Amino acid sequence: MPIAPLYPPDVPAIEGLVAELLNRIGCGAALLRADGAVLLTNAHLNAMLGDGLLLREDRLVAAAPRSQGALDSMLAMPDVPAGTAWETNFLALPQPSGLRPLLLRACRLPPGTVLPGQRGEQGRVATLLLVFMPEQDLPSPELPLRMMGLTAAEARLAAQVGRGVTPEEASRQLGITVGTARYVLKVVFGKLGVSRQSRLALLTARLAAMSGGE
């Protein structure tokens, strides 16, 4: 027989914790119901609103009307089986200002996930939406890279190459020869267990996001 807790859960504290966790994500984030209603947004997303993405009456709206259908389709999409091509839950949303498109990713949450303090279907969360702004500088992934075994010099080069900088350009920025950059990059690949620059880019992006929310 399960034992009831001595004290009721502190719902406001849990709500605050959820909000703080969202703010610790190094990109825009929102929790949405299955019907598309927005339950919670983080500070990063609030700062992005107004160009490519708008929030109207608890609904996310594409600033470019021609993109609304694609946005609605992504948010209304049923659960995606594991291993499904990434294109099914990613969307590039144009920004009328001319900046590079916002990159959106919809992450399905387990059925029955409910936001603390909400009741029934009104608080049932279906989707975690992540929004990336390419123009915005991500936090540096150098510290977590060093925690993964890289030296300071290796982490600096890995961070540069992970952002899409070529080894040649990175060598100029870091004041080393191209040959040295290529050798160090080979060492970095070995330490991190990656074999391609695209995999390094994915890893550094994740580490940068983990470093965000200061």
At 42, which CATH number?
3.30.450
User: What Å distances lie between residue 120 and 38, 97, 157, CA to CA?
Assistant: 15, 40, 50
Identify the pLDDT of residue 3. 43
Q: What's the pTM?
A: 0.59
Identify the pLDDT of residue 112. 67
- Domain assignment present for residue 91? The answer is yes
- Domain assignment present for residue 5? The answer is no
**Domain check: are 91 and 117 in the same one?**
yes
Of 78, 103, 132, the residue at which a domain comes to its end is 132
- Domain assignment present for residue 54? The answer is yes
- Domain assignment present for residue 6? The answer is no
**Domain check: are 73 and 119 in the same one?**
yes
Mean pLDDT computed over every residue of the chain:
79
Query: What is the residue range of 179's domain?
Result: 142-210
- Domain assignment present for residue 171? The answer is yes
Q: Is residue 160 a contact partner of residue 151, using CB atoms and an 8 Å limit?
A: no
- Domain assignment present for residue 150? The answer is yes
Of 84, 104, 132, the residue at which a domain comes to its end is 132
Residue 188 banded pLDDT, cuts 50, 70, 90? very high
Structurally, how many domains does the chain consist of? 2
pLDDT in tens, 10-62: 445 555 666 677 777 778 889 888 888 898 898 889 998 999 999 999 999 99
The three-state secondary structure class of 50 is: coil
Handedness of CA 24, 25, 28, 31 (dihedral sign): negative
Of 84, 106, 132, the residue at which a domain comes to its end is 132
